[in-house]
Structure 1
Amino acid sequence: MAAPTQYDVPAGLDDRRRDARLTASRRAVDGIGTSWYDDGCVALAVVGPAGPAQVRALRDLRPQLAREAWAELVIDLSGLEGECGPALVRVLGQLRVQRLTAGARVEIDGAPAEVVSELGVRPATEFTVREHRDGG
């Protein structure tokens, strides 16, 4: 495989975040996918129908995310189908607390209403939840 050209690599951090979220969605197994976009920065996608498999996969990922998402964790919920459910909201909250306590920035994009109401919205420098919008 050839080295990426300047046109293959996104120029800015926002572009790398967006590309990593898309890559994480494509890589999803058991409804969970990950992608790295910078040193210590991980994108995590939760896709498909919400269920116990996703909760188990997220719990299993916690130690890895503790090691690898030390600077930033971006969680994309825009591919989630149906209601989130209390177990999934709880494990997302635990991931948020774990990463914030370690000093990482946490962002959740495409959050269903129940996630927004449970986890709330904080400034982007600490923790951000962006509500899901149809069509984008």
Structure 2
Amino acid sequence: MFRSRILWCATGIVIAAQAASATSAVTSECRLLELAYKVTKAQQDTAFSDILVDCPGYESWTFEMTTRDNSLAFREALNAQKPYKVEKGTETAKILFQRMITRGVPVEIAQALVETRAFDNAVAELEK
């Protein structure tokens, strides 16, 4: 019984550490997405709320992109020219770059955001 309590406590610590790490990764990615949303809104006067849906503080936001918009964004993400940093970077960097575009960030803005510290931090947190 004592042994099972130790195991249970150790398991709880591991799960708590994983949850904290996941929360940190989500927070870092959402900081990048907030920046993407602000830049998109400033440059184009509109930005889809999809960029920030499910991020902390934006839980009440809903998806605005139509199925057609989503399909086009997905195709754009697959066909977008990847910046050198993404092309030569990790799989996480490639996924994050494509995820920005599929959420509604224009390709040009996503390409520019790859060079920011917010992108580097999000990649680093997601790779932990």
TM-score of the two chains, using structure 2 as the length reference: 0.29
Question: By percentage of residues, which structure has more helix?
Answer: 2
